[in-house]
Amino acid sequence: MYILYRADERQNTTGLWGASADTFFASEQERYLGFGTLVQVTHTTLNVNGGNSGMMLHRNMELVDIILSGSVGFQDSFGGSSNFPGNTLQVISAGKGIYQTEFNAGETEAESLRIGFLPNGLNTAPIKTKGLFDLQEHPDALVELVSPNNPASLTVRQQAAVLMGRFDAGKHIGYTLNNSDVGLFVYVINGVAAVQQQVLRRGDALAVSGEEQIMIHTAERSTLLVIEVTINE
């Protein structure tokens, strides 16, 4: 089964701080509520000197922040304050609750992705972890940023994997799902790629379930986000 999400279907929010686009949001249509335990994919740009986005409460969510460019600052209700440059990864297990805001901490526009999963346990103590990644060291390959099994990556309190890669035009990427309880969510950060022959552009995504082999073909230089997620619990 395929579920196609076009960029112009996303819920957009703007302010002095910048703009964000959410693939999943509150809706009467079930397809917009999430894909299995994946319930948030937010693509954000932060303006220079735009202030912060406002404190928001996160509870019982596993959040993955990927800093794509610029520098993003975070402040939280536990007194934490950090500035993360591009190629930085942050995981927040919100558990019983944490307030957080973000802002542009640099002198150029900043861009980030936030991915949210439902946790496999409720009301746990909040935890934050940080990591670095470098796609240039692994050209034309998917790099595991979050994984339940790879000690070189970060983890979330859920059976989920987050991978990212930058590919030249004309590359073919195969991804195998070995379990019928998982699905694959492919999001185009930049470029143009065909997933199972469905053409996707910047901000588009395709959710795939019930398939063992997923094929991706890049039509131009592209940066892709691939999420393996539990769909049957």
Q: What is the pTM of this model?
A: 0.96
Instruction: Please determine, for residue 98, whether its predicted confidence score (pLDDT) is greater than 80.
Output: yes
pLDDT band of 205, cuts 50, 70, 90? very high
DSSP code of residue 52: B
Burial of 202 (0-12, 13-18, 19+ CB in 10 A): middle
For residues 151, 155, 159, 165, the Cα torsion angle rounded to the nearest 10 degrees is: -80
Instruction: Please determine, for residue 30, whether its predicted confidence score (pLDDT) is greater than 80.
Output: yes
* Residues near 29 by beta carbon (within 8 Å), at least 6 away in sequence: none
According to DSSP, the residues that pair with 148 across neighbouring strands are none
pLDDT band of 232, cuts 50, 70, 90? confident
Average pLDDT value for the chain: 96
Can you give the length of the chain in residues? 233
233 vs 29 pLDDT, higher one: 29
Instruction: Please determine, for residue 78, whether its predicted confidence score (pLDDT) is greater than 90.
Output: no
2-230 maps to CATH 3.90.245.10: no
* Residues near 58 by beta carbon (within 8 Å), at least 6 away in sequence: 92, 94, 97, 98, 99, 100
